[in-house]
Every structure is written in structure tokens, then in C-alpha cells.
């Protein structure tokens, strides 16, 4: 029996690939996906983000293999543009498949790595009946990274680069990643998702990353998403944080016609902490969505979230941040702020901060602001001889850098600033064209 048929047209883009599954975990995920379907704006968590970019398509798996010379050249360019990455251990995927020839051959002592294809394990944190795109990933995952840090090891920084290249229209890949940081250990993961060709065809990148941070451990996860103009990037991250451990994350959204970065964090032990910060710089018809669900499941925990958006043209940003404080989570300290700078009268921000609190001894707050560039500040700079385009870039950069400054890892901080400055020059600081 084909489990896909009851859902009708909503799974049409993937029906052919889902119908032939044999593995029990994959078939179960396909069954859940058939039951709930792909999310529509009628689903509360997807009310502001429409997956219409997937409609009318039939997505195939990427072809095996890739142009080695082109990949090496692209990788060299990324490392050159981000000088802080040179010499760091790296893991590289091409179209969702681990590429050993582009990756480091060895890692520091205390780090264990294998690819998902060699050791498939979907973990226990995901809930495919709730997260349809995770179910889709579970059903179709082909490869990914599996990285663990042994207890009390300072693993330093590892670069994780996802290259999309040589893709025609209607290709999708669904990598599955897992990171475990042992008791008292530390790791900084710098993730970059980029398309090699400037004008690549429409494709879907649907990664899932699960992370487990043991007692007293610290995981820094910094991500830059700069995929092709017509790409769809839908990422889901799970973080399970034990007592006195910290998950410190930042995402910079620059690319894709439709992008969503969804983070689920559970603070399971006392005195745990989480930072889920980010920034988006969007233009044209781009839609960028940052969604988070932070669950305080233990007392004396801290959560912080600051997200800033800069929007030009007809771009639209979405911020959904939910903080759930369970009854046991007394003395919770939660803070959430979303701010947007609209540089065009046709740009738009949809914000939905949410607090759900069952404990009575908590300190939780959230806020949101939306505005345009300060005309007085712009006039001040212009009056002192700063060209208009440069003045606008300076003000926008100041707005976004405050958020980037929340990243404590020095290398990651520098790389984020470099990526942001380049994007600002192209989108905000470029002089207006004259006839």
C-alpha cells in the first residue's frame, strides 16, 4: 500500500521518492508525513510562511558525484574570503553528501567523526508528527555529519561547509546532522551554506541538525546561509541542554528566495543557558523566517534571544519566538527581542513573540520594534560629505553589528562581520544607478 496517496496533491513534489521506501524509520516518517501533509498557512507555526515555492514541482535526488575541480576552486574562494577559516579542521558536503576529498583528513584528539551514510541514526529528539519537514528529512536523508566531542575536551573550532553546485531545477537534498558535546567539553561549529554558481536553478535544501550538550559543556553554533537566489532553505535545529551547559547560537540569513531557520531548544538541567540570536538582510522578493521554541524544563535557567532584520524592496521577514516555562522551572530568566529596519515602503515584517508560563517565580520579557532609517542621522552624515549610499550602509551596519557583537567566539565574529559587510555593500551601499 502506498502511504502517500491519502494526502493528495500536498506531497506531489516528493511522492515518487517517498513511495519506494523500505527502511522502517523512513517508512514511519513517510506515514506521519502522509497523515499531516506539508505545512500550509492554516498551520499556526507556518501562518506567515508559505511553501508555495515548492508547488508545481517534482523534486529529484541530486546526481552522484560532482565536479572536483570546480568544488576545490569554490572552497578555496570561501577560505580566501574568510581568512579566519584557513587552517581550521573542516567538514564539507556537496549537495548534501559528505565529500572526503574536500574535508580535513584528521581532527584533533577527542573528536570522533563519521558520516550519516556510514552510521545512520535519526536520534530520539525529533517529532515528525509535529514537524513535517523533519519527517520529510527522515524519509529522504542520504548523508550528513555525525560529530562527537569526548568529555572535558576543548575541541576548538570546526568549519562545516555545505556547497550546492551543478544543480538544475527541481533537485532536493535532505542531510541529517548530529553533534554531541560530552560533559565539560567545548566546541565551536562554524557553518556556511552557499551555492557555487551565482545563478543556480531552483532547488531545496532541507537539513536537520540535532545536538546534545552534556552537563557543563558548551556548544557555539554560528551559521551563515547564503544560497542561490532561487533556492529554498528550510533548516531545523534541535538542542538538548543539560545542567550548567550552554547552547550559544547565531544565524545570519542572506540568501534563498525562501529561508526558514527553526530552532527547538530544551533546557533539561538546572543553571543551563541558551542564546538563539540572529540577523537577516533581505531584498528583492526574499522571505526569511526565524522561528524558535525554547522550553525551560528545569529551574534557574537563562534564555536570551535577539533577532534583527533589515529589509529592502519587497522582502519580508518573519520572527516567531516562543518561550515555554514548565511548572518545575522556577527562577527562569528569559528575554526576547525582535527588531526590524524597513528600507522600502513595500517591505514587511511579521512578528509573533510568545510566552507560555506555568511557573510563578520567573523573570520573562519580550519586545519588538519596527522602523525606518533615522532621517536626522542620515542628514548628519550627508552634511559632512558622506555619500548617500555610504551613509545608509553605515547606519544599517551599526544596527546589525550590535547583534553580531553577541557572538563571543572571535573567529566566528570576524567571519560574520566580513559576510555582513560584503552583503551590505552589494544591497544597501551600492550607489543608485542613473539613467
Q: For residues 155 and 168, give the distance between their C-alpha atoms in angstroms, rounded to a whole number.
A: 38
Residue where the block lists cell 500500500: 1
Residue 168 counted as domain residue: yes
Q: For residues 112 and 148, give the distance between their C-alpha atoms in angstroms, rounded to a whole number.
A: 5
Residue 313 counted as domain residue: no
Asked if residue 130 has pLDDT above 60, the reply is no
- Give how many domains the chain has, as a whole number: 2
- End-of-domain residue from the set 220, 252, 268: 268
- End-of-domain residue from the set 233, 268, 303: 268
Asked if residue 161 has pLDDT above 90, the reply is yes
Give the global pTM.
Answer: 0.93
Confidence of residue 434 (pLDDT cuts 50, 70, 90): very low
Lowest mean pLDDT among 62-66, 70-74, 258-262, 387-391: 387-391
List the domain range (segments joined by +) for residue 406: 374-435
Contact present, 31 and 3 (Cβ < 8 Å): yes
Confidence of residue 124 (pLDDT cuts 50, 70, 90): low
Q: What is the pLDDT of residues 299-349, one digit of tens each?
A: 999 999 999 999 999 999 999 999 999 999 999 999 999 999 999 999 999
- End-of-domain residue from the set 213, 237, 268: 268
Residue 232 counted as domain residue: yes
Q: What is the pLDDT of residues 393-415, one digit of tens each?
A: 889 999 999 999 999 999 999 99
Residue 29 counted as domain residue: yes
Lowest mean pLDDT among 20-24, 74-78, 155-159, 280-284: 20-24
Shared domain for 65 and 206, answered yes or no, is yes
Q: Which residue has the higher pLDDT, 431 or 249?
A: 249
Asked if residue 149 has pLDDT above 50, the reply is yes
Shared domain for 247 and 389, answered yes or no, is no
Residue 430 counted as domain residue: yes
Shared domain for 256 and 386, answered yes or no, is no
Residue 108 counted as domain residue: yes
pLDDT at 374 (0 to 100): 83
Shared domain for 246 and 386, answered yes or no, is no
Residue 328 counted as domain residue: no
Shared domain for 383 and 261, answered yes or no, is no
Amino acid at each position: 500500500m502506498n502511504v502517500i496517496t491519502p494526502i493528495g496533491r500536498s506531497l506531489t513534489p516528493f511522492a515518487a521518492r517517498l513511495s519506494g521506501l523500505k527502511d522502517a524509520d523512513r517508512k514511519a516518517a513517510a506515514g506521519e508525513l502522509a497523515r499531516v501533509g506539508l505545512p500550509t498557512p492554516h498551520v499556526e507555526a507556518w501562518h506567515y510562511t508559505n511553501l508555495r515555492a515548492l508547488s508545481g514541482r517534482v523534486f529529484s535526488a541530486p546526481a552522484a558525484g560532482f565536479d572536483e575541480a570546480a568544488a576545490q576552486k569554490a572552497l578555496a574562494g570561501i577560505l580566501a574570503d574568510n581568512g579566519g577559516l584557513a587552517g581550521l579542521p573542516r567538514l564539507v558536503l556537496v549537495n548534501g553528501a559528505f565529500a572526503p576529498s574536500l574535508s580535513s583528513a584528521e581532527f584533533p584528539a577527542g573528536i570522533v567523526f563519521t558520516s550519516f551514510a556510514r552510521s545512520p541514526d535519526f536520534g530520539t529528539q525529533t517529532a515528525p508528527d509535529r514537524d513535517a519537514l523533519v519527517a520529510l528529512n527522515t524519509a529522504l536523508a542520504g548523508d550528513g555529519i555525525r560529530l562527537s566531542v569526548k568529555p572535558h575536551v576543548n575541541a576548538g573550532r570546526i568549519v562545516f561547509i555545505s556547497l550546492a553546485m551543478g544543480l538544475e531545477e527541481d533537485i532536493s537534498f535532505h542531510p541529517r546532522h548530529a553533534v554531541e558535546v560530552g560533559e565539560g567539553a567545548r566546541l565551536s561549529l562554524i557553518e556556511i551554506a552557499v551555492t557555487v554558481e551565482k545563478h543556480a536553478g531552483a532547488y531545496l535544501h532541507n537539513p536537520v541538525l540535532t545536538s546534545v550538550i552534556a552537563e557543563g559543556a558548551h556548544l557555539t553554533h554560528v551559521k551563515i546561509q547564503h544560497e542561490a537566489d532561487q533556492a529554498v532553505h528550510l533548516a531545523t535545529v534541535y538542542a538538548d541542554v543539560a545542567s550548567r551547559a550552554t547552547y550559544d547560537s547565531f544565524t545570519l540569513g542572506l540568501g534563498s528566495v525562501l529561508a526558514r531557520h527553526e530552532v527547538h531548544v530544551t533546557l533539561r538541567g538546572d543553571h543551563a543557558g541558551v542564546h538563539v540570536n540572529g540577523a537577516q538582510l533581505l531584498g528583492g522578493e526574499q522571505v526569511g523566517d526565524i522561528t524558535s521554541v525554547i522550553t525551560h524544563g528545569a529551574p534557574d535557567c537563562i534564555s536570551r534571544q535577539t533577532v534583527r532584520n533589515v529589509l529592502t524592496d519587497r522582502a519580508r521577514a518573519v520572527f516567531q519566538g516562543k518561550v515555554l516555562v514548565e511548572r518545575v522551572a522556577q527562577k527562569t530568566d528569559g528575554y526576547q527581542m525582535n527588531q526590524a529596519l524597513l528600507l522600502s515602503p513595500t517591505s514587511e515584517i511579521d512578528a509573533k513573540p510568545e510566552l507560555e508560563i506555568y511557573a510563578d517565580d520567573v523573570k520573562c520579557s519580550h519586545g519588538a520594534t519596527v522602523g525606518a532609517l533615522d532621517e536626522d542621522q542620515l542628514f548628519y552624515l550627508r552634511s559632512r560629505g558622506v555619500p548617500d549610499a555610504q551613509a545608509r550602509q553605515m547606519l544599517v551596519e551599526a544596527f546589525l553589528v550590535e547583534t553580531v557583537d553577541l557572538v563571543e567566539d572571535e573567529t566566528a565574529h570576524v567571519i560574520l562581520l566580513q559576510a555582513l559587510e560584503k552583503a551590505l555593500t552589494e544591497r544597501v551601499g551600492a550607489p543608485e544607478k542613473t539613467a
